[in-house]
Amino acid sequence: MKVTILQRNIEWANPSLNVARADEALAGLPDADLFVWPEMFSTGFCTQPEGIAESADSDTLQWMKRKAAERDCAIAGSVAVCEEGKYYNRFYFVTPDGNVFHYNKKHLFTYGGEHERFTAGTERVVVDFRGVRILLAVCYDLRFPVWTRNKGDYDMILYVASWPTPRVDAWSALLRARAIENQCYVAGVNRVGNDPYCDYSGGSVIIDPYGKTLAECPWNTESSATAEIDMEALEKFRKKFPVLGDADPFTLNK
């Protein structure tokens, strides 16, 4: 499966402009099975979502559905959503047949006040797409390895983020750690540019189960990167070196 990550700047609180730019960026890229955008790619990371968050059936989601069908691919990225009076940081994964899967971010960023307005998700979400089982995760989730521990139920983790420049070394280190400890592929998609609160320098990357970089975007630059997910190689590695079978048992409490 071919995966393309898009490291983008995001215009603050302007969904129509950001979607137009996303459409332009997508039009200039070769075909892939999956295209992934950063966290809250239509608005920027808004911890005060009133007047900024979109509806659950927003124009942004409709664009994702339309492009998935047109390009015969999956389109993924997180959107600030208001649904039935509650706000969610919702990671959409849209397939070309019109199916919409979503994961509501579990670990809300308390340091930035995200927990004060948003409602945390409670369910892990794994999407099976074109032979690859994909776990959806958002930004701060990266710091909590128990939540994304591989229980034999996925082959790849997608992390979409608005991870600020002062802590970007942690972003890079933790992405690699999650790939190694879970014997899986990891795609981390971070934004660049700035919003009213933070600067962002990217560091978007696709990592293999050995912790090696397969593809990466240049720092501080709007760009894309593409890599192949090789399921045959992954299965051979897991059989040859079956570390997941020696993992400590645990139970997650919601």
Nearest alpha-carbon partner for 40 in 20, 19, 24 = 19
Among 73, 139, 184, 217, the active-site one is 139
Task: Let me know if 217 is a catalytic residue.
Answer: no
Q: How far apart are CA 219 and CA 204, in angstroms?
A: 8
Return the half-sphere exposure (C-beta side, CA atoms, 13 A cut-off) of residue 148.
33
The answer to whether 7 touches 38, Cβ cutoff 8 Å, is yes
Among 105, 114, 216, 217, the active-site one is 105
The DSSP symbol for 247 reads P
Q: How far apart are CA 120 and CA 122, in angstroms?
A: 7
Q: Which residues contact 77 (CB under 8 A, 6 or more apart)?
A: 36, 37, 38, 39, 41, 64, 91, 92, 160, 189
Nearest alpha-carbon partner for 111 in 167, 70, 56 = 167
Residue type, 153: D
Give the E-state strand segments of 12-145 in sequence order: 34-36, 54-55, 74-83, 86-94, 100-104, 126-129, 132-138
Report the catalytic residues.
39, 105, 139
